[in-house]
Structure 1
């Protein structure tokens, strides 16, 4: 059940001298330290200097020397810093500025309409422009777009998404765009459709769908690539504003124990997100960052497009790690490419098998580009048909003399989500060195949609971590935040709870045979996440590695009937990055 271990320096160091005044050596003791190092899984003391662990082991063997600052961990559980191998920090940062369309803020379409109405009134007051029908004159000129995020039909009383007619009741004179929790679907009002030029005559774009009513009129629901007909018209903040939003996000992430992050939809246009994240780092974003560029933004770039100094390496705070391709959509949004088709009232719904968004030829083209640029290829695939296409196509690629792929220090190919991976697909991926990056929190938080769209039997096989590991697949856990229907989507602890208990948020247990032990789950969020994202020298607490660690309010590894059940209630007391405390509760 344990994932394969990774090499790295380890072993006891008998004594240590104080470090330079820039960072005095610190001796952390009286802790319960989970190291994620298979050679020494547990410790209770460590010596840290200049951002690195000099020694870690049993307190009885320690000899930290004189002039060393001593830090009493007070018997608390310590784990390595969490590395979120698949998330969207820019989306997460912007949600703070948008209408929340998920519980507890909204439990019905009516709640969403009222929230849109309140935002329209607020904008009107700020601009001196009342809503239509108020009987008051106001200033002219366009108002900002009204944006929201997080709606999920399974969480709403009506069991459906808001339509253009619903949103028109909240605001008819300004465009409204609400992003579904999966970030693969949007609901927009009539004004947004008008500005985008979408009518009954507008064809579905390749890889997308415009939902239509019985008369052929657009309902306001735009799926996958159809979203961009509207999204590309939304005014965007200047790069400096985005950079500051990312910097402001850093304490939020540290409060959840997250020391390493990824952006799985980085762009080269209109600005290069590498430069944006570097600016954010200068403004105070402290997490280690790896970016994965959208395929269409690197498709025609030469090998020199990513400078060597931009690639992952020791001491690199922001790196360009890979290319991202979409093979399908989402399970909860019914756009993943599945077979049999999605369910309707518990039975398969003919002709509703989701969307295929790539081809074998495009996957091979993207892999060739990734090899040329010296980065990874990451492919989004949730449905079993999409997963089969990806692994069967990419498994044919030639590898290196000493292993699969074209990169050292981590997998060359990542398959994102792997929701409905079959045993056969797992076996192919294991042989080809294709890593899986799943998110059990989807099944935990979006269980209503999973049960409705897949039925109980297929839903129970989703995110089959135990089977993946047993097949020999390299696995890293992640959140995909903010793309899940949970009040705190970036928190690793609800995700860990689902991996360990298979008990969804409403109490139903799905696929208990796919549960994994907590120490294994923690390893997937730390050591294996570091390997899959290729952030060297992190993810484990061992000599020579970065001193990135988290102090928790309880011993999550203690035996007891309530330990796993209470995982989503765990609080972070302190987070350390390079041996410095960057967060304290």
Structure 2
């Protein structure tokens, strides 16, 4: 029964309530109070450090992160060109291994590369033709592979585009390695995962410390799959090997076979929570579905039409699942609202529909969300405008840019607003640092020091609540998000006081300790 004293404990119940001591018994908080009340001589002295409820990253891609942690970061400041990328890949620990060992990378954004183009299979073949190479684009929707990866995936000049995806080609008809959008990227991923399930389990288990180092004790897996294996099985096996974060899995709806039943489960540590629907792509990839065209005259890609979205909602209603809908472009978000606003919510413990990213929201859309019968959550990622400001400035007109990442407006709407990372799907070396996300939400300052819609800034306590209290309520982590009696004894100790440091220092805060169920699971 550990007791903690001499701390600045943010309870996560509202923006202003703190305590200085707490008790945890059998993994649950049993008392919150003041240090003056503590009589236990063995109480843990936290020496005035700031304590937060365990952080919840309610939209992330742990399988991708597990891959990325042993892969190469193809991001600035170290990788600024395709030449840099090839050199970095040659320094991968996988380089020079057997022909069955994949060399992996992540995070490239062609707009940030000196060549202003994506790498091709020919570029990657200069690294290796005997080992398969796979690199995620920064949005994790698209990717590139070398000729060996294409061969293992069975992709040649005659391979048809999968529905919703595009296989790039050289002028001579050969596949150029670029796999545009999720459906095409999955052709390479399935080839990679089919070869190495046990490696995937090891990578997942080994990624546990990455989350705990960032204070993240619960995650939403927003890319649950059934092929080449069931994601739930991956997590079950990783748990046996020591994976610690609590996990809610959302299965990609388009991968559910006709007649297949997906039902929610209620275990605290690992559960099935819902389904995932892709409406469109990404703004930086010019595939988010927008009302106004991009500079190239196109309006992005609509991956799910109204009829298919209705099918997904019906399926979720029948099986009591939450629907998480990826929608970045304003046309995509509008379609989601048009189809679902007047529907009756079917979940009462959390929002029935999550609009993921909600990157471009007009005043009219917010009014429609506020008037809706449906109970929505808006799950957004300030890391995107922080890391990708140049792309947003390039690809959006002035009106669209003014509607980008309206976090304060989301917070003031009738929808629940949660912050998350979508890691590793952005060109930043620490894509799921909650403190970079909080810094961006509070200062509205991008990595290049551009100010992005300053009037949409929120306060530090509001941002922390969006990573704890609201994240828990949106993601169904019913025992987390707050530190009060009956809730899980999951908390983090910071190396600086996030509530008093100058705001420009927030992104430099780190976690000193992470505790789960009253036991220390990470020490800096």
Same fold (TM over 0.5): yes
- Mapped pair 1:533 → 2:475: yes
2:119 corresponds in structure 1 to: 162
CA distance in 2, matches of 1:201, 1:241: 31
Instruction: Note the aligned Cα RMSD (angstroms).
Output: 2.4
Equivalent residue in structure 1 for 2:43, among 46, 64, 70:
70
Equivalent residue in structure 2 for 1:114, among 84, 87, 94:
87
1:572 corresponds in structure 2 to: 511
Shift of the 121–371 alpha-carbon distance from structure 1 to 2, 3 Å rule, reads closer
Q: CA deviation at 1:485?
A: 1.2
Q: Structure 2 length normalisation: TM-score?
A: 0.93
Instruction: Give the aligned length.
Output: 521
CA distance in 2, matches of 1:318, 1:555: 32
CA deviation digits over 1:89-146, x for unaligned, max 9?
11101112323211244221111123345669942xx45xxxxxxxxxxxxxx55443
Q: Which runs of 5+ in 2 are unaligned?
A: none
What secondary structure sits across from 1:506 in the alignment? coil
Q: CA deviation at 1:575?
A: 1.0
Q: CA deviation at 1:227?
A: 2.5
What secondary structure sits across from 1:54 in the alignment? strand
- Mapped pair 1:41 → 2:14: no
2:281 corresponds in structure 1 to: 329
Q: CA deviation at 1:460?
A: 4.4
Shift of the 242–233 alpha-carbon distance from structure 1 to 2, 3 Å rule, reads closer
Q: Which runs of 5+ in 1 are unaligned?
A: 1-24, 128-141, 343-347, 400-404
Q: Residues 199 and 218 of structure 1 are in contact (CA less than 8 Å); yes or no, is this contact kept in structure 2?
A: yes
CA distance in 1, matches of 2:92, 2:341: 50
Shift of the 237–584 alpha-carbon distance from structure 1 to 2, 3 Å rule, reads farther
CA distance in 1, matches of 2:93, 2:266: 44
Q: Residues 338 and 384 of structure 1 are in contact (CA less than 8 Å); yes or no, is this contact kept in structure 2?
A: yes
Q: CA deviation at 1:240?
A: 3.8
2:363 corresponds in structure 1 to: 423
CA distance in 2, matches of 1:247, 1:145: 19
Q: Residues 290 and 319 of structure 1 are in contact (CA less than 8 Å); yes or no, is this contact kept in structure 2?
A: yes
Shift of the 247–268 alpha-carbon distance from structure 1 to 2, 3 Å rule, reads same
Q: CA deviation at 1:302?
A: 4.9
Shift of the 251–119 alpha-carbon distance from structure 1 to 2, 3 Å rule, reads closer
Report the structure number with the largest CA radius of gyration.
1
CA distance in 2, matches of 1:212, 1:239: 30
2:7 corresponds in structure 1 to: 31
CA distance in 2, matches of 1:174, 1:71: 51
Q: Structure 1 length normalisation: TM-score?
A: 0.83
Q: CA deviation at 1:388?
A: 0.8
CA distance in 1, matches of 2:139, 2:323: 22
CA deviation digits over 1:379-425, x for unaligned, max 9?
1111111111112111232x2xxxxx111211111111111122222
Q: CA deviation at 1:320?
A: 0.4
Equivalent residue in structure 2 for 1:407, among 335, 342, 347:
347
CA distance in 1, matches of 2:32, 2:68: 40
Shift of the 97–120 alpha-carbon distance from structure 1 to 2, 3 Å rule, reads closer
CA distance in 1, matches of 2:131, 2:4: 56
Equivalent residue in structure 2 for 1:354, among 279, 287, 300:
300
Q: CA deviation at 1:465?
A: 0.5
Shift of the 275–231 alpha-carbon distance from structure 1 to 2, 3 Å rule, reads closer
1:208 corresponds in structure 2 to: 165
Q: Residues 208 and 355 of structure 1 are in contact (CA less than 8 Å); yes or no, is this contact kept in structure 2?
A: no
Q: CA deviation at 1:337?
A: 0.7
Q: Residues 30 and 45 of structure 1 are in contact (CA less than 8 Å); yes or no, is this contact kept in structure 2?
A: yes
